[in-house]
Amino acid sequence: MEHWELEARESIRDLVARYNANGDSGRFGPMLELFAEGATLELEGSTCRGRAEIRGMFEGVAANTGQGASAKAAFIRHFTATHQIDLQNPDEATGRCYFAVLTDRGLDHWGRYLDTYRRIDGAWRFWHRRVILDARVPGGWADG
């Protein structure tokens, strides 16, 4: 394996980890910087193109799940597993992994991320992310 391949794989793993950590903490600015300017995010039949639309979708999710005493969960934590990365060349890759989401009440929902990554100005970014929800717990954070 060439040096660039090792660097690319580690950078992409870090990209996915930062997406989850920033999103779980409500840090949408740093999270959105992980997306390329023209990126696409697909989630349950909704498609957002570009950082502005992606930000709007995440802010809508945050507003619908409440804050403070009205929050549907005291905390939310995304975990990823079985991350497979396929490098096409030094600047393009695809990946897929499973995710599970925990709240203070336990397992909430789970599914898969299907990603396309691009290296732009030396940094790996999401170019396309498709979120497939496999199931959710009735009455949980992600339900309705």
pLDDT by 10s per residue, the chain, length 144: 789 999 999 999 999 999 999 988 888 899 999 999 999 999 988 999 999 999 998 887 766 555 554 467 888 999 999 999 999 999 999 999 999 999 999 999 999 999 999 999 999 999 999 999 999 999 988 886
For residue 97, the surrounding DSSP H or E stretch is strand 92-103
What's the predicted TM-score (pTM) here? 0.90
* CA 6, chain centre distance (Å): 22
At CB < 8 A and 24+ separation, what contacts does 20-24 make?
20/77, 20/78, 20/79, 20/80, 20/99, 23/58, 23/78, 24/75, 24/76, 24/77, 24/78
pLDDT of residue 59: 82
Q: What is the set of domains in the chain, with CATH numbers?
A: 3-136 (3.10.450.50)
For residue 6, the surrounding DSSP H or E stretch is helix 3-24
**How many C-beta neighbours within 10 Å does residue 71 have?**
15
Q: Is 132 exposed, middle or buried (0-12, 13-18, 19+ CB in 10 A)?
A: middle
